[in-house]
Amino acid sequence: MNRYTVSRIVVAIALCAAAKPLFANTLSVPPDKPAFTVDIPADWKPTADKADRSVEATEPDNHVYMAGWVVDKSDIGSLTGDVEALLKDSMKSVDNKTSEEKVENNGIKFQVIKGSGVDKREGTKVKFFVAVFQAGPGKAGIYYVDWDADAPADVMTTVNTIMNSIKLKS
């Protein structure tokens, strides 16, 4: 093989390796009667739980955990309890300071609550956000993410790409 052929093979392998995280699994939330879909990178090992009516994934280096689920109007009162239970399960403490903002993607209006705290297992600083949105008549969709405060910037780019991939099912 000449040097030119070897260079082309090396470039092709590098491009394939770089593109790997771009391949995503489209998951329906909830898995049995979708209110919305979300694209999660395959290397995050996304899983759908029909019994819990949710999806979840963890970034390969464990910098990020994310979950998505739907709450029916009759269960909307449990939404606060669901989020509190999730935070209690994953965090030793939650800082008092939170912020709120409204974001719109794909015609969906998200109410986003951001905060920070200390991870229960690692004892390190983490950040989180909960995005709540109308997911059809009488339904609220929830996209929850927590990540290491010192996570690489490209991880947060992927988190935003995942949120931008949320699409309502009609």
> CA 83, CA 66: separation in Å to the nearest integer?
12
Peptide bond into 30 cis (omega under 30): yes
The pLDDT tens digits for 44-100 are 999 999 888 899 999 999 999 999 999 887 666 677 777 777 778 778 888 888 889
Q: Which CATH superfamily is domain 24-168 in?
A: Mog1/PsbP, alpha/beta/alpha sandwich (3.40.1000.10)
Buried b (16+ CB within 10 A) or exposed e, 11-47: eeeeeeeeeebeebbebbbbbeebbbbbbbbeebebe
Q: Which residues pair with 140 in a beta bridge?
A: 71, 134
CA 57, chain centre distance (Å): 7
pTM value?
0.80
125-169 pLDDT per residue, tens: 999 999 999 998 888 899 999 999 899 988 889 999 999 999 998
Does the pLDDT of residue 10 top 70, yes or no?
no
Report domain extents, the chain: 24-168
